[in-house]
Amino acid sequence: MSASASRLVFCGDVEGGVPRVLRDSGLEVVLLEPGVSADPLAAVAVQEDVELVAVVDSNLGAKAARALGNDVVVFWVTSATGPSSPSPAGN
């Protein structure tokens, strides 16, 4: 993948304002609706040639990370004020 890390796919609820914060910090954000499964999410990440995927569902993130391999960084966005702890990889 050759895209700049300034572009990412965000999959989740836009009501929380996370995509706006990401955009306001200088990132180009490709939005996907909540409820997308891992395979279509991975396909969009490849099609859009991004290096980052942000999800609000840790289980979806783990599945998408497996589908994408090492080409894309998948991270979980949480609204919690403390450090996040991902779910076990098998879930």
Q: For residue 1, what pLDDT is reported?
A: 45
Task: Read off the pLDDT of residues 31-82 as tens digits, 9 standing for 90 and up.
Answer: 998 889 999 999 999 999 998 999 999 999 999 999 998 889 999 887 655 5
Residue 6 has pLDDT above 50, yes or no: yes
State the Cα–Cα distance between residues 28 and 52, nearest whole angstrom: 11
Mean pLDDT over 18-34 rounds to 90
Domain ranges of the chain: 7-76
The 8-class DSSP code of residue 12 comes to: S
Helix (H) or strand (E) holding 73: strand 73-76
State the pLDDT at residue 84. Answer: 52
The pLDDT value given to residue 79:
66
Indicate the fold that domain 7-76 takes in CATH: Rossmann fold (3.40.50)
